[in-house]
């Protein structure tokens, strides 16, 4: 399955719940670039350095680089329990590249979960989001504040605000989403793969909706 939706709708959280429940392999291209950002700059290729720079500004990384990142992780696409892609594809060209990869591997895409949320709510979620440097868990300064300010409830790690959750980068990300990613909903709808899911409410509420729709489709 592919998870679609604007930045901040909670795709990463839903992907974690889904991979736990259905045992499928989860690949988040955003996590790959964030991990690269923490690597020492000597260990980074020029392509990766450029990708990290674009990510910090909220811009999309080039299709070529992202497709290469996914190609290097083919194992995930052939997992016996299936795969979950979070944050990929984000453009129609990436979707076509994914189709080619899946055809090479003899695997099919079964569903695309499209999380929908009002833009004002997306901005509220993104601007208050804090992320743990150690375990990547997220908190929210208003909706889910940590017990101790600046400290992750799960592991005690330091909470920080992602570069791309700063106001200027949020604007760039939402524009990239509208221009390049939102058209994918139509693209997959025409293929009969799209399942729209409201991302309103708590992560558990959204997961309840997700489970119901996924079980209806597959079981």
Question: Residue numbers of the site for ligand AMP (CB under 6 A)?
Answer: 7, 29-30, 33, 54-55, 58-61, 66, 87-90, 94, 164, 173
Written as one string, the DSSP assignment of 196-209 is: EEE--S-HHHHHHH
Distances (CA, A) of 52 to 38, 91, 94, 131: 10, 18, 19, 17
Min separation Cβ 178 and ligand AMP, Å: 13
Min separation Cβ 151 and ligand AMP, Å: 22
Q: Which residue is nearest to ligand AMP (CB)?
A: 30
Distances (CA, A) of 77 to 1, 21, 27, 131: 10, 18, 9, 27
Nearer to ligand AMP (CB atom), residue 55 or residue 193: 55
Nearer to ligand AMP (CB atom), residue 66 or residue 117: 66
Nearer to ligand AMP (CB atom), residue 95 or residue 152: 95
Pairing of strands 159-160, 129-132: antiparallel
Active site residues: 11, 90, 129, 162, 173
Min separation Cβ 90 and ligand AMP, Å: 4
What does the alpha-carbon distance between residue 29 and residue 43 come to, in Å, rounded to a whole number? 19
């Amino acid at each position: 399955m592919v998870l679609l939706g604007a930045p901040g709708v909670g795709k990463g959280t839903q992907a974690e719940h889904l991979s736990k429940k259905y045992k499928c392999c989860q690949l988040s291209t955003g996590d790959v670039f964030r991990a690269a950002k923490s690597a020492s700059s000597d260990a980074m290729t020029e392509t990766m350095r450029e990708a990290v720079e674009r990510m910090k500004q909220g811009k999309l990384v080039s299709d070529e680089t992202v497709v290469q990142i996914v190609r290097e992780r083919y194992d995930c696409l052939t997992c016996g329990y299936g795969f979950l892609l979070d944050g990929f594809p984000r453009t129609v060209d990436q979707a076509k590249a994914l189709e080619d990869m899946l055809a090479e591997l003899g695997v099919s895409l079964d569903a695309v979960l499209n999380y929908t949320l009002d833009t004002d709510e997306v901005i509220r979620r993104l601007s208050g989001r804090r992320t743990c440097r150690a375990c990547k868990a997220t908190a929210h300064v208003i909706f889910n504040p940590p017990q101790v300010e600046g400290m992750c409830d799960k592991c005690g790690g330091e909470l920080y605000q992602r570069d791309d959750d700063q106001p200027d980068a949020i604007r760039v990300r939402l524009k990239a989403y509208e221009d390049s990613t939102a058209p994918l909903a139509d693209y997959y709808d025409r293929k009969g793969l799209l399942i729209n899911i409201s991302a309103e409410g708590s992560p558990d509420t959204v997961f309840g909706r997700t489970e119901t729709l996924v079980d209806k489709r597959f079981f």
